[in-house]
Structures are given as structure tokens and as C-alpha cells.
């Protein structure tokens, strides 16, 4: 059994993704990931994606891992030395998830042009042309938009359970009370923004394909004829392919 593991220190959480024989097996997060790893004793290849904060216990754990497995651990803090073709001008500040998404797409469709939309804490829309990462845009995600309205006003609340409300099928275009109006503005606004962005790219590049990923992608109801590829685990698969590339020096 061949194990490959991705340990991602992101903006808001720590996540551990696992592959067995190149097949994605799932993700554990924060304390669950920590507790499970205390009894983990399998030989594995590791990619540490550390753009976010690593506290003392995680720093110590990663340090021990690297000292024991010097030949099978890739530790990334920036995208600067990742072997991936790009025209981006500031690789040292590029989010690792963005280049991972590009790697995940090219592993499946090497020569196509893609607009990769990742709906997470922020929403990124990146252009990939014939396997070359060109860059893109960064905008506030759904939760950030809701938190900004709460922080910037006196009377607007922050709907703590907005994910549950959206999953119940609350209307996204016209709110019937304050909370549903906030959701109509945040989620409906994201949908309108992405629909227009896709339309403009398709106008300039008719053959472009659209990939949709990220934890909040499931809350978006983009027109069915727009996204052509949806994979909530695209980033993890991209990290897996980057790990293969960097350990084999391809």
C-alpha cells in the first residue's frame, strides 16, 4: 500500500488529506487530524503546505517528521520553487492552493485552456493556458462578505448558521427578512459576479473550459451550462501531483 499525505496549514484551519495507491481517501481537520496522526504509523510521502500559521505543537510534529523522513517530505512555504510553468510575476506571494488547482487540472487535461474557480475563504478565478498558469483574480468569499457587512454596520447581524440555511433551500435572489436579504446579497452577488466573469472569458476564449472547486462551491447555483468540470477535491489532487513531481524531480 502506497500512502501519500498532504498537511495543509491554511488561513482558518489545519487539514490532513490522505491518498492510498493514488486514490483520494478523505480529509480530517484540526483536532481530529491532530489526534488521528498521534497514532499514525504508516510509511508515507508527505507534502506540507504551510502558508498559514503553524502553532508550536504542529511545528514540533512537522520538525520530527522531516528529521525522520528526509527523502520523502516536501515542505512548501511559498510557490516560488514549485516546478510548474507560469507567467505569474510574484510566485513568492502566490497562494499554494492556486498552483495546486492548476496542477490538478493539467494532470487530467494537459493542453486545454481553463478558468479555475475556487470558492473558499476567498474566491479565486485563475487562467490556465495550455498548461501555463497565468494568474487571475481574488475576491472575498461568501463568509467574508457576511462578516464584512456585520463588522461595517450597526444593525446587520452575522448569520452564524448561514450554511445550514442555504442547504435548506432559502431563496437567494430576494430576501424576505434581514438574514435572507444578507444571503441574497452575499451568495447571489457571488453567483452574478462569477457568471459574468465566465461569460467574459468565454467571449474572449470560446474554447475555454471552467472548473469549479472549493468548500463553498456547493452553495453556488451557477448556470448549468457554464461549469464543465466540478471537483471539490481538486486542490488535494493537485497537491498530490505536485508531490509526485517534486519527489521525482520532473
Residue 224: per-residue pLDDT = 66
C-alpha closest to that of 181 among 168, 163, 189, 193? 189
Residue 223: per-residue pLDDT = 66
The predicted-structure confidence for 22-47, as pLDDT tens digits, reads as follows: 999 999 999 999 999 999 988 999 99
**Reported pTM:** 0.91
Residue 146: per-residue pLDDT = 97
Q: Name the burial class of residue 138, with classes exposed (0-12), middle (13-18) and buried (19+) by CB atoms within 10 angstroms of its CB.
A: middle
C-alpha closest to that of 238 among 202, 211, 205, 201? 211
Residue 168: per-residue pLDDT = 76
* CATH architecture of the domain with range 111-233: 2-Layer Sandwich (3.30)
The CATH fold of domain 3-77: Nucleotidyltransferase; domain 5 (3.30.420)
- Diameter of the chain by CA atoms? 58
Residue 211: C-alpha distances to residues 13, 26, 191, 196 (Å): 24, 20, 15, 15
> DSSP string of 114-131?
EEEEEESSEEEEEEEETT
Q: Do domains 3-77 and 111-233 have the same CATH topology?
A: yes
Q: What are the grid coordinates assigned to 198, written together?
A: 465566465
Q: From the CA atom positions of the chain, what is the Rg in Å?
A: 19
- How many Cβ atoms are within 10 Å of 128's Cβ, its own excluded? 26
- What are the residue ranges in the chain where pLDDT is below 70? 170-172, 223-227, 249-250
Q: What are the grid coordinates assigned to 245, written together?
A: 513531481
Domain ranges across the chain: 3-77, 111-233
Pair 213, 76: CB distance under 8 Å: no
Residue 151: per-residue pLDDT = 97
Strand partners, 128: 114, 133
Measured CA to CA, the distance from residue 174 to residue 86 in angstroms comes to 42
Residue 225: per-residue pLDDT = 62
Q: Phi first, then psi: what are they for 5, rounded to 5°?
A: -130, 140
The predicted-structure confidence for 76-95, as pLDDT tens digits, reads as follows: 999 998 989 999 999 999 99
Amino acid at each position: 500500500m502506497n500512502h501519500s499525505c498532504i498537511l495543509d496549514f491554511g488561513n482558518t484551519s489545519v487539514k490532513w488529506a490522505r491518498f492510498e495507491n493514488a486514490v483520494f481517501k478523505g480529509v480530517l481537520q484540526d483536532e481530529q487530524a491532530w489526534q488521528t496522526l498521534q497514532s499514525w504509523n504508516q510509511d508515507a510521502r508527505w507534502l506540507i503546505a504551510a502558508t498559514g500559521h503553524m502553532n508550536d505543537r504542529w511545528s514540533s510534529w512537522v520538525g520530527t517528521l522531516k528529521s525522520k523522513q528526509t527523502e520523502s517530505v516536501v515542505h512548501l512555504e511559498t510557490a516560488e520553487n514549485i516546478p510548474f510553468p507560469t507567467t505569474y510575476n510574484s510566485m513568492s506571494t502566490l497562494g499554494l492552493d492556486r498552483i495546486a488547482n492548476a496542477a490538478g487540472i493539467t494532470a487530467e487535461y494537459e493542453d486545454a485552456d481553463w478558468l479555475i474557480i475556487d470558492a473558499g475563504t476567498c474566491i479565486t478565478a485563475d487562467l490556465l493556458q495550455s498548461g501555463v498558469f497565468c494568474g487571475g483574480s481574488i475576491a472575498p468569499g461568501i463568509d467574508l462578505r457576511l462578516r464584512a457587512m456585520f463588522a461595517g454596520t450597526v444593525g446587520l447581524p452575522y448569520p452564524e448558521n448561514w450554511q445550514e440555511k442555504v442547504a435548506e433551500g432559502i431563496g437567494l435572489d430576494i430576501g424576505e427578512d434581514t438574514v435572507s436579504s444578507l444571503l441574497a446579497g452575499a451568495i447571489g452577488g457571488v453567483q452574478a459576479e462569477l457568471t459574468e466573469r465566465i461569460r467574459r472569458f468565454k467571449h474572449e476564449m470560446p474554447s475555454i473550459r471552467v472548473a469549479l472547486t472549493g468548500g463553498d462551491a456547493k452553495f453556488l447555483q451557477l448556470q448549468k451550462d457554464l461549469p464543465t468540470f466540478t471537483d471539490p477535491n481538486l486542490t488535494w489532487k493537485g497537491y498530490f501531483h505536485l508531490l509526485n513531481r517534486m519527489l521525482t524531480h520532473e
